């Protein structure tokens, strides 16, 4: 008994040590995946001072998380907030409120805002009509605050407060659970010198969101309005062409190909910086069939403008890691497939995210097939990719039932006749066995007849079930 107790204690100790050893190993492995180390190993010159406060990378097709570090840290996104305003502009156009060619007549207030030196802007002249298309370029390329205000006022017929409420309502609808907006452009309301003042909204409050929430917003923006990249990808563009108000806009996303930190496949989304938020970056890039989204928040300090460049080093590095590890591809073809030793028939081709140089594994549940890639969804409102299927045997049964209806009933009738005959023979042997049971020295005959009775009845029942599910066997 003592030996058994000692052995149990030893086993328990080994399990405990193994558990904590595993935790230590996992923690060490995680530490090695530090974003600063990844960026330095990618060849970028940076240091701890510039390390982002939060970051995340997701797949744009599936919404699955490939990298995260403090993704739920609440932060001031600065001008990345313009993405929510743009979402509402695209939504309004989808509803038919206006088009890209609709013009917005600039007011005295708009002109005054455009002349506030402290704000990022483009030139606006009172009384001039600006097309929505050009205002979108100004918002997303130049990060113009006045262009964003003009678009917001177009959506709500100059109800500035209503637009802020729309931003917050849309955030809830999209699953952005840690976001609150107080202005439409990322610059606090108080910095507009009274020319933009949503009634009932705190003028001194910064917008608040998280890396995860911005990834969710970017996911829905690209999914629902893929033309967004048309307005985020130009490194330079001229608006109001062939008019006295033509203006060249320069993009601050230095990861766009051809700029200082040019990254292959990059075509958006938005940068943002502020005294309280530091330097932030929302990006997307596509290589072959794989499109990724990343958010990098809180790089460096507003007092050191080097952070404006450093955010792109971190963004490029974690993009590199994700693109090198994962790919979005076709995993199954429409039609017949064998999954987990089950013969199934897919209604359509099935695409998903998978680690490179690995074989996918799948789960069959009800009528859905999903991939087991170990990746979490960025939000519970974004479902993992799946495809509907039918089991091949069920389809065969359906085909057999169709055959019956088209005149081929003899096979089924013959089969059920044989099944019924087997059951009748079984019952006959059962009756005979009772007779032999009553006679002297008939135990052997009784046992034989009883056995045959059971076998014939079971055979009849099983074959009847087979005929219903699969089809006639003769």
Q: Using CA atoms, how far apart are residues 462 and 24, in angstroms rounded to an integer?
A: 56
Geometric angle at alpha carbon 212, from 28 and 120, rounded to 5°: 120
Tokens of 362: 């799948």
Q: Which of 304, 327, 350 is the last residue of a domain?
A: 327
297, burial (CB in 10 Å: exposed 0-12, middle 13-18, buried 19+): buried
Shared domain check, 340 and 321? no
Shared domain check, 232 and 199? yes
Cα separation of the two ends of the chain:
65
- Per-residue pLDDT tens digits for 340-355: 888 888 889 999 999 9
Q: Using CA atoms, how far apart are residues 294 and 316, in angstroms rounded to an integer?
A: 10
Shared domain check, 422 and 373? no
Query: Does 29 map to a domain?
Result: no
Residue reference for tokens 């998280």: 210
- Helix spans in 115-236 (H): 132-140, 145-156, 160-174, 211-224, 228-232
pLDDT of residue 403: 46
**Cα R_g (the chain), whole angstroms:** 34
Rounded to whole angstroms, what are the CA distances from 134 to 108, 110, 148, 397, 449? 19, 15, 11, 60, 93
Residues of the domain holding 229: 39-327
The count of domains in the chain is 3
Q: Are 331 and 352 in contact (CB under 8 A)?
A: yes
Helix (H) or strand (E) holding 286: strand 278-287
Give the SS3 label for residue 247. strand
Query: Does 244 map to a domain?
Result: yes
Ranges assigned E (strand) in 75-137: 103-105, 129-131
The annotation places the binding site for substrate at: 270
pLDDT of residue 26: 34
pTM over 0.75: yes
Tens-binned pLDDT, residue by residue, of the chain (474 aa): 444 444 334 434 333 333 333 333 333 333 337 999 999 999 999 999 999 999 999 999 999 999 999 999 999 999 999 999 999 999 999 999 999 999 999 999 999 999 999 999 999 999 999 999 999 999 999 999 999 999 999 999 999 999 999 999 999 999 999 999 999 999 999 999 999 999 999 999 999 999 999 999 999 999 999 999 999 999 999 999 999 999 999 999 999 999 999 999 999 999 999 999 999 999 999 999 999 999 999 999 988 999 999 999 999 999 999 999 999 999 999 999 888 888 888 889 999 999 999 998 998 887 888 999 999 999 999 999 999 888 877 545 455 444 445 444 445 556 666 767 777 877 876 777 776 665 555 565 556 767 877 887 787 788 777 766 655 655
pLDDT of residue 470: 58
Query: Does 399 map to a domain?
Result: no
- Per-residue pLDDT tens digits for 277-309: 999 999 999 999 999 999 999 999 988 999 999
Query: Does 129 map to a domain?
Result: yes
Q: Using CA atoms, how far apart are residues 249 and 436, in angstroms rounded to an integer?
A: 104
Shared domain check, 115 and 233? yes
pLDDT of residue 4: 41
Shared domain check, 384 and 310? no
Query: Does 312 map to a domain?
Result: yes
Q: Using N-to-C axis directions, what is the helix angle for 132-140 and 82-94, rounded to 10°?
A: 160
Query: Does 8 map to a domain?
Result: no
The annotation places the binding site at: 270
* CA nearest neighbour of 206 among 79, 351, 70: 79
Give catalytic residue positions.
79, 82, 143
Q: Using CA atoms, how far apart are residues 124 and 196, in angstroms rounded to an integer?
A: 15
Give the SS3 label for residue 176. coil
Q: Which residues pair with 387 in a beta bridge?
A: 369
Q: Using CA atoms, how far apart are residues 44 and 314, in angstroms rounded to an integer?
A: 8
Shared domain check, 312 and 287? yes
What's 64's DSSP letter? B
Query: Does 400 map to a domain?
Result: no
Q: Which of 363, 392, 421 is the last residue of a domain?
A: 392
Query: Does 76 map to a domain?
Result: yes
pLDDT of residue 19: 35
Shared domain check, 364 and 322? no
Helix (H) or strand (E) holding 378: none
Q: Which of 278, 303, 327 is the last residue of a domain?
A: 327
CATH number at residue 189: 3.40.710.10
Shared domain check, 424 and 280? no
CATH number at residue 381: 2.30.140.20
Shared domain check, 361 and 241? no
Shared domain check, 348 and 430? no
Length of the chain: 474
Shared domain check, 166 and 119? yes
Q: Using CA atoms, how far apart are residues 281 and 283, in angstroms rounded to an integer?
A: 6
432, burial (CB in 10 Å: exposed 0-12, middle 13-18, buried 19+): middle
Shared domain check, 123 and 103? yes
């Amino acid at each position: 008994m003592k030996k058994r107790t000692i052995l149990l204690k030893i086993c328990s100790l080994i399990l405990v040590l193994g558990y904590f050893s595993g935790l230590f190993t996992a923690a060490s492995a995680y530490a090695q995946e530090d974003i600063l180390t990844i960026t330095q190993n990618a060849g970028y010159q940076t240091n701890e001072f510039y390390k982002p406060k939060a970051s995340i990378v997701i797949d744009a097709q599936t919404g699955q998380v490939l990298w995260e570090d403090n993704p739920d840290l609440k932060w001031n996104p600065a001008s990345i907030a313009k993405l929510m305003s743009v979402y509402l502009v695209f939504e309004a156009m989808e509803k038919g409120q206006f088009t890209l060619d609709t013009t917005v007549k600039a007011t005295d207030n708009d002109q005054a805002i455009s002349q506030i030196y402290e704000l990022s802007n483009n030139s606006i002249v009172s009384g001039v009509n600006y097309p929505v298309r050009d205002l979108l370029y100004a918002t997303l390329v130049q990060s113009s605050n006045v262009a964003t205000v003009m678009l917001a006022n177009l959506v709500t017929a100059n109800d500035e407060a209503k637009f802020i409420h729309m931003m917050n309502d849309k955030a809830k609808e999209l699953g952005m659970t840690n976001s609150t907006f107080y202005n439409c452009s990322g610059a606090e309301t108080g910095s507009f010198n009274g020319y933009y003042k949503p009634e009932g909204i705190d003028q001194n409050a910064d917008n608040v969101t998280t890396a995860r929430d911005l990834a969710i917003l970017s996911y829905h923006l690209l999914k629902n309005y893929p033309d967004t990249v048309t307005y985020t990808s130009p490194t330079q563009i001229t608006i109001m062409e062939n008019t006295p108000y033509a203006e060249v806009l320069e993009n601050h996303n230095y990861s766009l190909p051809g700029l200082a930190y040019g990254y292959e496949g990059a075509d958006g989304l938005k940068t943002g910086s502020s005294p309280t938020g530091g330097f932030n970056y929302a990006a997307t890039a596509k290589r072959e069939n794989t499109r990724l989204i990343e958010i990098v928040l809180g790089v460096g300090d507003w007092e050191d403008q080097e952070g404006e460049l450093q955010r792109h080093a971190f963004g490029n590095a974690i993009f590199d890691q994700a693109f090198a590890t994962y790919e979005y591809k076709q995993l199954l073809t429409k039609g017949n497939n064998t999954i987990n030793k089950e013969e199934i028939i897919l209604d359509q081709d099935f695409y998903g995210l998978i680690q490179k140089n690995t074989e996918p594994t799948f789960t069959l549940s009800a009528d859905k097939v999903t991939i087991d890639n170990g990746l979490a969804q960025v939000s519970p409102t974004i479902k993992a990719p799946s495809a509907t299927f039918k089991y091949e045997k069920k389809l065969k049964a359906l085909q057999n039932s169709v055959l019956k209806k088209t005149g081929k009933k003899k096979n089924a009738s013959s089969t059920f006749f044989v099944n019924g005959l087997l059951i009748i023979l079984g019952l006959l042997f059962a009756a005979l066995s009772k007779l032999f049971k009553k006679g002297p020295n008939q135990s052997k005959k009784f046992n034989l007849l009883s056995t045959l009775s059971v076998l014939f009845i079971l055979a009849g029942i099983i074959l009847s079930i087979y005929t219903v599910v699969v089809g006639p066997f003769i």
